[in-house]
Chain A
Amino acid sequence: MEISKLMKKRIADNLKEGKRFDGRKLDEFRDIKIETGISVNAEGSARVTIGDTVVVAGVKMATSEPYTDHEDEGTLVTTAELLPISSPRYEPGPPKIEAVELARIIDRGIRESKFIDFKKLCIKKDEKVWSIFLDLYSINDAGSLIDACSLAAVAALMSAKLPVYDAETDTIKYGEYTKDPIPLTEKVCLNFTAYKVGKSLIFDPTREEEDSSEARLSVAMTRSKGKIYVNSLQRGEDEPLTPEEVLKILEMAEKKYEEVEEVVKKQIK
């Protein structure tokens, strides 16, 4: 159900005065909790909770032929589903545009940050490479699915272990693991989506706040040699942003990166 105009106005007016229903600051995140290894048949998995929002991510590995223009690199396929169990607003069926866009935003951030060392996923050049299937699911949608999924993706990738691959029979022994993690670099990709509500810019909206927003900008960043880089941007929804708002959001996101990087380091072993 679309949020009522009364509620939208109340939220926008409150934000103008720097107030949120749960007392947070405009750029403050709810409590973030990251658990890994939450689904034993996956090569890697994670559950991320941000406030009441819960998402899970799983990594499954397979082998395949490499792409013709990247004969010595592994591949990554990212999919997302907004499950009906997570909210009355989602219906069963193939992923709609919200889920397609969500998956592509997460995928772009991970891919462009060079977080995964695709070359080390090569088994035999031109013939066989590892394929990473990264699947994201919403379990409870209380707002901020994009950022929650991005954290879950990173956590699932970081905690994954490669299964045993028998080159002779060309089969994967699922359930049997090597000690090898997925080859990752130190470029941990984190995504922050700012939402514009009225004239205010906020991070980590609750579902109501998200429904009251007219625009969003997702910023995926990574740290490399001490500097922070932007790897992906996605502006969404009807309302355009001024160049000043875009630059302000980048500034806010850069600050957030340092904070959330700490959370990630502490919670993902």
Chain B
Amino acid sequence: MAYTKRFDGRKFDEMRETEAKVGVIKNADGSAMFRFGETIAIAAVYGPKVMHPQHSQNPEKCVLRCNYDMLSFSVPERKKPGTSRRSQEISKVTEWALANVIDLEAFPSAVIDVHIQIMQANAGTRCAGINAAALALAHAGIPMKEMVSAVAVGKIDDKIVMDVDKEEEDYEDGEGATDIPMAFLSRSGKISLLQLDGKIQPSQLKEAIEMGQKACQQLYEIQKQALKASVMEEK
């Protein structure tokens, strides 16, 4: 059956209910929680601080070290604790998504550790993770040139949709599901995360990118609100 209506009744260009909050981990220099529907990510930033081991230091600029992982019970079938190749890859693309907006040359020989944990997974975890991490970096007071916002755009059958959930990810009828996580920088509009798995014609990718731009503009406002709210609270 063709995909004419989304499983949860959302419009094709509608995200799930989002929630963003900073300051959720007191020990961290900066922290945040970001939620897309049932997908919840928390991120903590420790740094800039001296990098150990010393031989990993870069005397020209700060190292950005991102670590993404999922709680074992965040998914229906328990995820074995410990790192996996998937989480290593997601850690790396997260680093690439964020590195460009930070003036890393301002903190030579230092390291900024970004830890992302997925508390609950219903697709879009790496995007929730990036949104939380970007907020945590800002909350830590690390100077950022732009905000980074991420969303999982998808093509379910032949429909381009915003914020794919697990049920849609598993869709197998028609053209199946194509998952396209992407992240945009708020001012330059550049793409710092772009991955895809599935089957899509190059021409439809343009539509997908436009969907992503629209979503990230909304996400930017949500992230801004969360940062503003934390400052208001302190007053």
Contacts and interface: CB of A to CB of B under 8 A. Distances in A.
Interface in B166-219: 180, 185, 188-202, 205-206, 209, 213
A254 to B, nearest CB: 6
A45 interface: no
Given A240-B185, A243-B189, A250 B202 contact: yes
A104 B85 contact: yes
Contacts of B18: none
Contacts of B200: 229-230
Contacts of A97: 88-89, 91-92
B225 interface: no
A228 B209 CA distance: 19
Contact of B99 (A231, A238, A247): A238
Contacts of B206: 247
A235 B205 CA distance: 14
B96 interface: yes
A100 B89 contact: yes
A244 to B, nearest CB: 10
Q: Which of A112, A228, A237, A254 has the most CB of B within 10 A?
A: A112
Given A238-B96, A240-B185, A251 B202 contact: yes
Contact of A230 (B99, B188, B205): B205
A251 to B, nearest CB: 7
B111 interface: no
Given A229-B201, A243-B189, A250-B202, A234 B195 contact: yes
Instruction: Report whether over half of chain B's contact residues are helix, strand or loop; otherwise say mixed.
Output: mixed
Given A108-B197, A112-B199, A236 B192 contact: no
A108 B179 CA distance: 12
Interface string B77-99: 00000000110110111001001
Interface string A99-120: 0110110001001111000000
B230 interface: no
A97 B185 CA distance: 25
A236 B93 contact: yes
Given A235-B93, A238-B99, 16 more contacts: A97-B88, A97-B92, A100-B88, A104-B89, A114-B199, A228-B202, A230-B201, A230-B205, A232-B197, A234-B196, A235-B193, A240-B188, A240-B191, A243-B189, A246-B191, A247-B206
Nearest to B210: A243
Say what secondary structure dominates the interface of chain A: mixed
Nearest to A251: B202
B194 A246 contact: yes
A57 to B, nearest CB: 18
B180 A233 contact: yes
A239 interface: yes
A111 B190 CA distance: 29
Nearest to A187: B199
Interface string A68-110: 0000000000000000000000000000010011011000100
Interface of B: 85-86, 88-89, 91-93, 96, 99-100, 180, 185, 188-202, 205-206, 209, 213
A81 B175 CA distance: 34
Contact of A233 (B86, B188, B189, B194): B194
A241 to B, nearest CB: 5
A139 interface: no
A101 to B, nearest CB: 5
13 contacts: A229-B199, A230-B201, A235-B192, A235-B193, A235-B194, A237-B96, A238-B100, A240-B185, A241-B191, A241-B194, A242-B190, A246-B191, A251-B202
B100 A112 contact: no
A250 B180 CA distance: 15
Interface string A206-240: 00000000000100000010011111111111111
A240 B190 contact: yes
B93 to A, nearest CB: 7
Contacts of A238: 96, 99-100
Contact of A247 (B93, B193, B205): B205
Contacts of A251: 202
Interface in A233-269: 233-243, 246-247, 250-251, 254
Nearest to A222: B199
A104 B99 CA distance: 22
B98 to A, nearest CB: 10
A137 to B, nearest CB: 17
Contacts of B197: 108, 111-112, 231-232
A250 B100 CA distance: 23
Nearest to B201: A229
